[in-house]
Structure 1
Amino acid sequence: MTAWIVLPVSLSAFSITGIWIVYAMAVMNHHVCPVENWSYNVTCVEEPAKPGFPKSCCTIQDIPLISKCGSYPPESCLFSLIGNVGAFMVVMVCLLRYAQVIEHSHDCWINTAGLVSGCFNTLGSIMVGNFQVDHAKSLHYVGAGVAFPAGLAFACLQCMLTYRIAVTALDYWMAHVRVALAVGALVSLVLSGIFFIHESFVLQHAAAICEWVFTVVILVFYGTFTYEFGTVTNETMMAGLQRSRLRGSRVILSGTTMSEELGGGSKGLKSPGGSSTSTHLNCTPESIAML
């Protein structure tokens, strides 16, 4: 099952290539200005479209934020497709990583928290991809507010987990690489948030660049799981499922035990049919023969 190593690489390659194609389409269709443009005006006179050339006059509405690049068709269609397919691949990566850690007997709260944060990252990405910022701003911002912090949390938790289960020198080297990526993602996300709240054209443009850096770094981070997925087998996912069932059984058993304790200690709280039910359940073959 070493073919699973293709999944993380495909996620990174597909998503990074896709969002840059969306950006190129948005620039060519005059929906945003190119990243290298730092000159913005308060207003612009309507200019005739020049196919194959970017806009010559740009306002704050033309800043090339990722969300802005995917706001209008035809690039919005591709943007939604990338968000949905990428979200599915992220879920698969998170589930396989979760099951693989359990398979190697390293189950812990970090592993569970990593799975939860990855799923939240997926949910936010779906909202971002399907609710464009210019048409459903509130839902889009909610999705972004979930996806970005969840993606960063997933990266940080996986860094901790990588160090925790590392055995060889190569494992520790991979942990160092992930820490570097996580630090880069943290810095770019913080700077993007700081710059975004200002009305300065220059800072808004810097926020867009930091947003692109954060997104690319997180996608590269997901791609690093190719290193571990070479050892995924048929039993890997089963290990995760069996662990989940075991936890569910423990919850049910603990609930049953608690119910029995409560029932034995509070006989006055029985239901109206409880006494007759218990009488029938306590009938023995000897008592039936006597009758």
Structure 2
Amino acid sequence: MAFERLDVLPLAVFILFPATFLATYIIAVLLGHVEPDFPYISDTGTYSPESCIFGQLLNVGTLLLGLVIYVRYRQVAEYYSSYSLSPAVLSLNKMGVWFGLLSCLGLSFVANFQETNVITVHLTGAFLCFGFGTVYFWIHAVCSYHMQPLANSLQLAHLRLALAVICTVFFILLSITGVLSHIQFRGSNPRKWYPNDGGWQLHVISTASEWVVAVAFCIYILSFAREFRNISLESRVYLNVESGGFSVVDSECSPVLPHAAVPEGVVIVRQGGNSIIT
């Protein structure tokens, strides 16, 4: 069975995350759970019912994001083996998939552990999501330069580099101003932060930086869509029918292979007419 039109994966991530943040923001403001001026993204998903929507949709988004990371990993691996790219690409790609999956794990923590319930886990998840996600973006910005013009244009590599820089700068800004603003906070509820509560300017810088990073994340993932349009994943399941010590492989006139050599299943990554079987 072949899976085509994989460009819908980054497109779905690009649509789902902003829609989730916007929906929970509107609900939280209408219910009076946050002030409309510059809340953190997770503040808009802290209280019920918006927390339920926030958690459920982010869990779906985490799954889609994990699939994007896997497809990207297989794409880069295919280009490395087919076009003899620099060995650095292979190492970066292997590191990248781990950073990407840990970023997904962090996003899952953010979705399922609200800051009012388990603040340590929530903040750990935010650091994994934004911090490791930024490292993932740097890795694949470098890979994009190695893979142009085969897989992507030089302009797209420049865009990914610029987005990685933006994520780095604003993630650092988010972290520093976030800590300093909470030190200066003198109010009773940080989800309803008013200018006279202390640390207001730092708070605004921190929350605005978080929204900038989130938008940059979504745009970066969307940048994979054009490349994924030309990729299909094909999975074949082999039926082992014993016949005189040999196995007849599926029903499509496949070659007869010794039983020991027949795999349980294979995955084929097909890119522009080329394929790799694993």
Question: Larger radius of gyration, structure 1 or 2?
Answer: 1
Q: Which residue is equivalent to 1:7?
A: 9
Distance 1:239 1:115, change over 3 A: farther
Partner of 2:69: 94
Paired residue secondary structure (2:267):
helix
Q: Give how far 1:243 is off.
A: 8.7
Distance 1:160 1:170, change over 3 A: closer
Same amino acid, percent of matched pairs: 29
Question: Is the CA contact (8 Å cut-off) linking 1:102 and 1:239 kept in structure 2?
Answer: no
Q: CA deviation at 1:131?
A: 0.3
Contact 1:103 1:239 in 2 (8 A): no
1:147 to 125, 129, 132: 129
Match of 2:171 among 173, 177, 189: 189
- How far 1:66 sits from its partner (Å)? 1.1
What is the aligned counterpart of 2:40 among 60, 65, 85? 65
Give 1:140 shift.
0.7
What corresponds to 2:194 in structure 1? none
Alignment partners' CA distance in 1, 2:277 and 2:115: 38
The Cα shift of 1:167 comes to 1.7
For residue 78 of structure 1, the aligned residue among 53, 57, 61 is 53
Offset of residue 197 of structure 1: 1.3
Distance 1:162 1:112 in 2: 15
Q: Distance between the aligned counterparts of 1:162 and 1:196, measured in 2?
A: 32
Partner of 1:258: none
- Alignment root-mean-square deviation, CA: 2.3
Cα separation, 1, equivalents of 2:123 and 2:277: 33
SS of the residue corresponding to residue 3 of structure 1 reads: coil
* Cα pair 1:99 1:239 within 8 Å, conserved: no
Is residue 26 from structure 1 mapped to residue 28 from structure 2 by the alignment?
Answer: yes
Change (3 A) 1:181 1:243: same
Correspondence 1:43-62 to 2 at 5 A: none
Q: TM-score, normalised by structure 1?
A: 0.70
Residue 43 of structure 1 aligns with which residue?
none
Which amino acid counterpart does residue 228 of structure 1 have in structure 2? E
Partners in 1 of 2:57 and 2:8 — Cα distance? Answer: 17
**Alignment partner, residue 229 of structure 2:** 230
Displacement of 1:168 in angstroms is: 5.6
Q: Secondary structure at the match of 1:4?
A: coil
Of 144, 150, 156, which aligns to 2:138? 156
Query: Structure 2 regions of 5+ residues with no counterpart?
Result: 185-198, 236-265, 270-274
Matched, 1:103 2:78: yes
CA deviation after TM superposition for structure 1 residue 144, in Å: 1.2
Matched to 2:92, the amino acid is I
Q: Please, which moves more after superposition, 76-85 or 170-179?
A: 170-179
Report the Cα distance in structure 1 between the residues aligned to 2:131 and 2:152, rounded to whole angstroms: 29
Shift of 1:3: 1.4
3-state SS, counterpart of residue 114 of structure 2: coil
Name the structure where strand makes up a greater proportion of residues.
2
Aligned to 1:197, what secondary structure does the other structure show? helix
Pair 1:174-2:176 in alignment: no
Q: Deviations over 1:18-71 (max 9, x none)?
A: 111111111111111113xxxxxxxxxxxxxxxxxxxxxxxxxxx611111111
Instruction: Name the CA distance, whole Å, in 2 between partners of 1:146 and 1:101.
Output: 23
TM-fit CA distance, 1:234: 3.1
How many corresponding residue pairs? Answer: 217
In structure 2, the partner of 1:137 is 119
TM-score by length of 2: 0.73
Q: CA deviation at 1:218?
A: 0.6
AA at the equivalent of 1:238: V
Structure 1: unaligned runs, 5 residues or longer: 36-62, 246-291
